[in-house]
Structure 1
Amino acid sequence: MPSKDEAPPQEIFFRLSGAGDSPWEIGRAQSAIIKLVEQGIFHGTVLDIGCGIGDNAIYIASHAKDVTLTAIDLVPKAIEVAHEKAQRVNVNIQFEVIDMLSDLSKTNLKQNSYDVILDAAIFHAFSNDDRLLYIKNLEYLIKPNGLYVQIVYSEKETREGGPRRIKKTDLEDLFSLKNGWAIESIEDSIYESRPGAPLSPNEWFPVGSENWSDWFVVGVNDVDIKSDGPSLRLKRWWSYFTDHRHKYIICKQNNFKGCSC
C-alpha cells in the first residue's frame, strides 16, 4: 500500500484504464453520482476529472438538466472507450486527454469556466506536493462560486491495501475558508468496485467489495466576511461522502483568501 503521502504509480492507470480490467470500471455510474444527479447538483458547465471510461459523465449528461459536459482523463485508451460509449447512446460530451497536473493554460480547458467540477476517486491518487498543484488547477478552472464535488478514499477504510487514506482534518485544512474554500457538509457513502479485477491489495485496494469513502460538501451561503477593506459577500458550498471508505467533497469557490474568520 502506498505510504501516507505517496501517490500510487501511474503505470496502474495506463495498464488498466479502458482495458476492461480495472476495479473502478463497473459498467455504470456510481450510486453516489446518481444520488447527486437526483439532488440537482450538476448544472451549467460541468467538468468530470479522471472520467475513465465515461460512465459517470454519460449518466450526468443524460439525466441532469441543461448541462454542458467536458470529461478528461490522463489515459488515452480510457478516453477512446468513453468517446465510443457516448456516441453509441447519442450523448454529447467533450472528451479530452489532459493531465490535471500539467499547465492547463496550454490545454482546451478555459480559466474560470466550470460551474461544477467532479472528482470521483482521483484526489487520493496524488502525493502531498501534487495535490497542492491539483488544487491550484481547480482554482484555475472553477467559476467564482462554482461547486467542486469529490469522492475520495477515507480514513474509515481499515482493510489492508488500497490508495492512501485521506483524513477529514486534511480536507478541512486544504479546503479551508482561508484557502478560498468552505465546507458545508460531510456524509458517508459507498464507492462500488468490480469483482475479479486483476489488482492485488498491496498494489492498490481490495477488489470485488464495497469500500468506504467520504462525501464532503463545503460551503458558505450568503456570508458577510469583514476584513480591513469592504465586506465580502460569498456564496459557496461543498459535500463529503464515505464509501469504499472514501470521502465525497463538494465545494464552491470563494475567491477570498487569508480572512481571519
Structure 2
Amino acid sequence: MTKNNLFEGPWLITSDLDGTLLDHHDYSHAPVDRLLLQLEQRQVPVILNSSKTFAEMLELRRQLHNEHPFIVENGSAIFIPANYFPARPETARKRNNFWLIETGLPREQLRAFLRADATEYGAPYLSFSAATCEEIVAATGLTEQQALAAQNRDYSEPLLWLGTREEKRSFTTRAAAAGLSTLQGGRFLHLLGPTDKGAATLALLDCYRKYRHTDYRLIAAGDSPNDLDMLKLADIAVIIRAPHRPPPQLAASDKRRVIISDAIGPAGWREVVGQLFS
C-alpha cells in the first residue's frame, strides 16, 4: 500500500473494541499487541471507543499498555488522564485521576423510560440492569468479574432483544420520540442519550487540536453499524470484517478513504493499520 497526500499526518486512531481490536468470541488482543507498541513508539495515540464501561476500559487499557484518553458507553462520556493536556478541557470535571466530559444522559433516566415503556408495551428483551450476573455471563461469554464490570454502567442500558423485528422497530421509534438514541451493536441494542461514538470522537479530536496545537487527522476502525457515526468522521475509515455478517456500508469520498479488511477481528486490524504505517 503506497503512501500519498491522503496519508499525511499526524494521526489519531479511534477504535472500537469487540470484534475490532478484540476477538469477538474470546476477547483476545494478541494479534495487535506488537503493532500497538509500534504505534506508541511512533507517537500515534490509539483512542479506545466502545460500548464498554469505565471499569472495563480501565482494565483493558492496563492490558493494552494504553495511557491515552478513552470513550465509554457508545460515546456517552470521554475520560482524559488529568495531566494529559496542559490545561483542563472546557466542560470537563474531575473524576478520580481523569477529566470527565459527559455527552450522554444518566442511566437512571434511561431506566425510567424503560419502566414506563414496559408498563404500556411490555419488555421483549433482557436489560443489563434487570439481569443476573449469570445471565450476562451466558449472553456474552464474559467471566463473572468481567460481567460485573459490564453491568456497572453510568450512561447506557444494553438490551438483549428477545422479541420480533417489528417490536424492535416500534421500540426504537418510541425511544427517539423521547429524545433518546438506540444503537445496534454486535450482540445488544444499546439505549442511551442523544449522543454517539462520532460526536464524542469529534469533541475529543477538538481537544487534541486545541491543546496540542496540532491539526491531527483521523483513522477510525470498527466492525458494526454502531461504529458508522465514528467512521463517517474519519479521513481513513477502516472496516473490520466480521465472521457472520456483511461489513457496514460506508461510501468513500474525496476526503475519505474506506478500507475493508480481509481478515477478521484483531487480525484484520493488524492487517490494515499495519499496512498503513508500514
TM-score with structure 2 length normalisation?
0.31
Of the two, which has the highest radius of gyration? Answer: 2
Q: Answer 1 or 2: which has greater helix percent.
A: 2
TM-score (norm 1): 0.33
Q: Which structure has greater strand proportion?
A: 1
Larger RCO (CA under 8 A, 6+ residues apart): 2
